[in-house]
Amino acid sequence: MAAERVNLLACIGHAADRQQHDRVTGLTAAIASYLRAEGLSPQAVTLHAAAAAAARRRGDRPGEATALLNLGSARQATGDYPGAAGALEQALETFREFGDRLGEANALNYLGNVRYLTDDCPGAVGALQQALETFREVGDRLGEANALRNLGSVWQVTGDYQGAAQVLGEALGTYREIGSPLGQGNALLSLGAVRRLTGDFPGATSTLEQALETFREVGDRLGEANALCNLGAVWQVTGDYQGAAAALGHALGIYRDLGNRLGEANTLRNLGEVRCLTDDFAEAAAALEQALDIARDLGDRLGETEALNCTGRLLLAMGDPRRASAEYQRALDVARMIDSRLEEAHALEGIGRCDRLTGSADAAGAALRQALEIYRDIGAPDAPRLSAELEGPRG
């Protein structure tokens, strides 16, 4: 497909010009996975929208549903989450009309992922559990593993790291059994993120390096960028700022090549943290401002609260606790709205540190104790550090 891409696209254009609707839908569906793997999402949106219209004109309901499913996936990759949800809901309704259970499960799986990306975690869990049940009913093990992996991502965000690790381990085992290297790479990526959040930095590094190697072997550039971004976050926490900056810079270049704005925002946020830790405050501020703008443009509330917390840390490092406290308060409001317990704790800890510096000792103690309670409840590695601090002379 890589060698013949120009000819394949010319064939689709030729068929469209001559209103050969069955060829338009068939050829576009055939190259959907290739377009996804190569990160050609803007082009894929145009092709899948045309395929859905062609199938609709000839009354091909299965072809229309498949095109809508692929259109939803492509729109998600470009950051158009409302457009993705609309296409996937149409696909789901159409699959149900003619009793395609596997198609229904795939649509629910994609829809659950979009809801997760728009911070609707209850809605995401509901869709993904329905997808998982349906995949099991029809005996589709690849779909089952995909749904488990997506559920792991949702539970990670809500702070259920134990539950996330369990379902991600199940997904990884299934991918290995059925021989899906791309699935293994994605499961390893998610497991690495969970291990980083629970403080298992050696385990996170090893797992993410395996994921990176797998993505490079199968030629998945988006997966490669995701693994590099996560590795950069691990190396930042462990103090390898040079390694972190290199990995994040590489990831940022790939995301921009692919037009993946969510990945771009996440990487810019992590780069902002690294620049802050190396006292490059101007570069840190510029990166965090870009990350926050993209997150808000995408409607990514989790990304927004993470960027706000990072901005609070930057302002605190620059010696401006009052402005930092305002950013942390904004982060706290958003974190509570979307039920992100880790970011809620980060915001509370930041507010507590700002209160200490502005002379509000009682308020500082209350905020820091609330943060500690959340850290302990979700098993975050920040708990021992903050507990030791509060039990010390300043506690």
Tokens of 40: 């050609």
Q: Has residue 238 been placed in a domain?
A: no
- Among 65, 80, 99, the domain-final residue is 99
In this prediction the pTM is 0.82
Q: Has residue 389 been placed in a domain?
A: yes
Distance CA 274, CA 236 (A): 6
Tokens of 223: 């997966």
Q: Has residue 323 been placed in a domain?
A: yes
- How confident is the model over 139-183, as pLDDT tens digits? 999 999 999 999 999 999 888 999 999 999 999 999 999 999 999
Query: Over the chain, what is the mean pLDDT?
Result: 91
Residue 286 — pLDDT band, cuts 50, 70, 90? very high
Residue 21 — pLDDT band, cuts 50, 70, 90? low
**How open is the CA angle 88-89-93, to the nearest 5 degrees?**
115
In the prediction, which pLDDT does 118 show? 86
Domain count, the chain: 2
Percentage above 90 pLDDT, the chain? 69
Q: Has residue 95 been placed in a domain?
A: yes
SS3 at position 19 = coil
- Among 71, 99, 127, the domain-final residue is 99
Residue 274's nearest CA partner among 297, 252, 258 is: 252
Q: Has residue 175 been placed in a domain?
A: no
- How confident is the model over 372-391, as pLDDT tens digits? 999 999 888 899 999 998 88
CATH label of the domain that carries residue 292:
1.25.40.10
Q: Has residue 210 been placed in a domain?
A: no
Q: What is the CA radius of gyration of the chain?
A: 22
| 75 and 262 Cβ atoms separated by less than 8 Å | no
Distance CA 24, CA 64 (A): 11
**What is the rounded end-to-end Cα distance, in angstroms, of the chain?**
63
Distance CA 160, CA 157 (A): 8
Q: Has residue 93 been placed in a domain?
A: yes
- How confident is the model over 219-238, as pLDDT tens digits? 899 999 999 999 999 999 99
Range of the domain at 318: 284-395
In the prediction, which pLDDT does 232 show? 97
Residue 369 clears pLDDT 90, i.e. is over it = yes
Burial class (CB in 10 A: 0-12, 13-18, 19+), 259: middle
- Between the alpha carbon of residue 246 and those of residues 184, 274, 381, the distances in Å are 25, 11, 25
- Between the alpha carbon of residue 56 and those of residues 21, 355, 370, the distances in Å are 9, 61, 55
Residue 13 clears pLDDT 80, i.e. is over it = no
Q: Has residue 269 been placed in a domain?
A: no
Residue 32 clears pLDDT 50, i.e. is over it = yes
- Among 99, 120, 150, the domain-final residue is 99
